[in-house]
Structure 1
């Protein structure tokens, strides 16, 4: 009666599954089914749906196939005999893999066209900066952890998952790492594998095309006293891995960290680069203003230096 009133998908009634017998059954058959169900539950971390299917298969195999415990021997044998399960089959919800993040960079400079040369230079510079940070990073801590849902069942016996903390310059990031027990329980080997996985597979930083799919766009300079010491800046968007975004955001407010200034980066996702000084802005804008002019000789270089 209950199954006729409630059909999948079931409402949230607090009980996800109900096992019931639709027809008459013997105590022997019920005992056999119960034994099969408990055997599955005790043997492995199983889902109710799968445990029932296995126990019901055993019931059909021994209690209906040879017609021993069917109340009416003339009843047509089918999978409908015996116990029934009221509930929805489980679904494996695979999470969307973590995507790279789009970061907004403000770069010291005048109104310019974001051509392939400019964007390629920023890509390569940021990629080198991240490589430096990871190569010099140290494994700070590691603890055992459960694998992510996307990885469950994909590793063979002997593979383990660790949550690892690594430090680089002023940054601190946590990563979920899976590998052989030999690798994950050897700190030096684990550290090397993490570095290899992060920076040696592909380029980390990619310029984001504008809405029309072109990599060039004329931008007007912006001004803010909180960035680049009030010098003009222009906006560039870059796509970076999540861990790389964490590193860059850690480094931006560090007064002693000067590598970002080398690339003219004055702000990352609204975080001002603290080590940016007035003389940096003067030097960078000097070269921006001299675009298209002839190079001077070494003897004349002194007279062209920014004051």
Structure 2
């Protein structure tokens, strides 16, 4: 039954994405985190206080992410329970939205550099005002690659283990990390615990994503190159996890990703991922999107096989 709910939720995501007019739990999480951040910076007078406030944010938001939908599921019965169960899975994944946003960046950049920079700023934390065309495409590819793990495989992994509440829990942690988990002077202490918890939560999913992308590389005739890229560059990232999907995509596309950028006015060094000197093109974004969908399909395929085996045991 859960497998059928999962498949329905994924099909809904592919067909609908995340319409801007439709209320989304992550938007509510983001508003709460923004409020908590403002209060923390207003009342915390030193780094220790910011660290404690950031720790409390993690506990409060994780509790609410599980308690609120858990209570709703407890109250619902029959068809209403099924609908909310499916919705809970659907809202946790974001393949169609990743596809849409990456395509919009590509189209905007083809119209003008300024439009591309502005559109890219909607989906990345780095400053985009000085990026050239190739850097815009590279940042888009990196975002799709990393979010194949963060926005698709990781929530599905925790839904597989903990049910829909696992998806809510993961999204709360990942949203905190995306908002305050930066290694900058401003967020060094407030976002430290959120970033550390996010690293732990993504440890297994990131490696699963890299492995699945390695399998996808077979269809591009670059399996050995991709696995070699993962082996060489899996730790060539400030995150202990993001290097896996980015190294895999670099191997599949035969491009170089990574490199330092400005975040909130502060330059953050990042190592390069990949040895290729090939110019990144708009078509590389399209290929990355196809790898993203293929990775999701492979995960569901293995999930289905494992579920069937467990039922028969």
TM-score scaled by structure 2? 0.19
Considering only CA atoms, is the larger Rg found in Structure 1 or Structure 2?
A: 1
Structure 1 length normalisation: TM-score? 0.20
Higher strand share: 1
